[in-house]
Amino acid sequence: MNKTYSFQHNTSIFRKGIKDGIPIGLGYLAVSFSLGIAAKNAGLTPFQAFLSSALCNASAGEYAGFTLIAASAAFLEVALVTLIANARYLLMSCAMSQRIDPDMPFFHRIFLGFYITDELFGIAIARPGYLNPYYTYGAVLIAAPCWAFGTALGAIAGNLLPLRLVSAFSVALYGMFLAVFIPPARKSKVVCGLIVVCFFASYCAAYLPVLSGLSEGIRTILLTVLISAGAAILFPRNTTEEEQTNE
């Protein structure tokens, strides 16, 4: 039906996705390896660890879940904690919904939703114009198996990777975050100032009493909502401006 959304028309963007998925996959390997250790401690088998990561695609959410499984928590509690730890994906999903071509076939929305992670969202949103699902699929092709198998490996092998390598790998994710929000900060003074505010507020929240007692997931949600709402009130965007920064 819709030729622009057939795979044949999107092979080059798919390959671009694969390329950008490689650093994500490397970062995922390191992070999911340690997640696998947590899964093993919760009494899960390597296959169950693999299944969790293949289905959930969430670092903080899975980690929180494994901790509760280890404590034999109630099902409802697991559901609630998963909801809170992953609440930022709700915001990301809302943000993505505004960047979808109205002509895009509906089923792509389901798959795009299934694979919203911090990193895959970050690279998708950093591209200009409407989201292209094939870009995300390319990245998923590399990143998702790394995540799932890394978790299984962690559950099997525990601490086999040298600490030095784990340490170096673990900043790959943050490097990718930087590559997403630094370029717009260079283009827009508002975004630049916003990033400084975010760093400062996030630093304070991590160490101030009361706030530092909250989980990292809840702090992220609170800060995201407060700072974004403040910015939207003080610096509302107009459409022409948006077109410029999206290019």
Partner 1 sequence: MNKSYVYILIMAGVSFLIRALPLTLFQKQIKSRFLQSFLYYVPYVTLAVMTFPAILHATQSPVSGALALFAGILAAWFGADLFKTAVVCCGVVFLVEWFL
Residue from 35, 58, 140, 144 in contact with partner 1 (CB under 8 A)? 58
Binding segment toward partner 1, per CB under 8 A, in 2-10, 146-154, 225-233 = 225-233
Interaction of residue 180 with partner 1, rule CB under 8 A: yes
Residue from 33, 118, 132, 148 in contact with partner 1 (CB under 8 A)? 118
User: Binding string to partner 1 for residues 128 to 147, with x set by CB under 8 A, is what?
Assistant: --------------------
Interaction of residue 201 with partner 1, rule CB under 8 A: yes
Q: For residue 171, give both structure tokens.
A: 């900043």
| Cβ-based neighbours of 47, under 8 Å, separated by 6 or more | 152
Interaction of residue 22 with partner 1, rule CB under 8 A: yes
| Range 74-107 burial, b when 16+ CB lie within 10 A, else e | eeeebeebbeebbbbbeebeeebeeeeeeebeee
For the purposes of burial, counting CB atoms within 10 Å of the CB of 211, is it exposed (0-12), middle (13-18) or buried (19 or more)? Answer: middle
**Sign of the CA dihedral running 232, 236, 240, 241:** negative
Stretch 62-91 residues interacting with partner 1 (CB under 8 A): 62, 65, 68-69, 75, 78-79, 82-83, 86-91
Output 69 or 140, the one with its CB closest to partner 1. Answer: 69
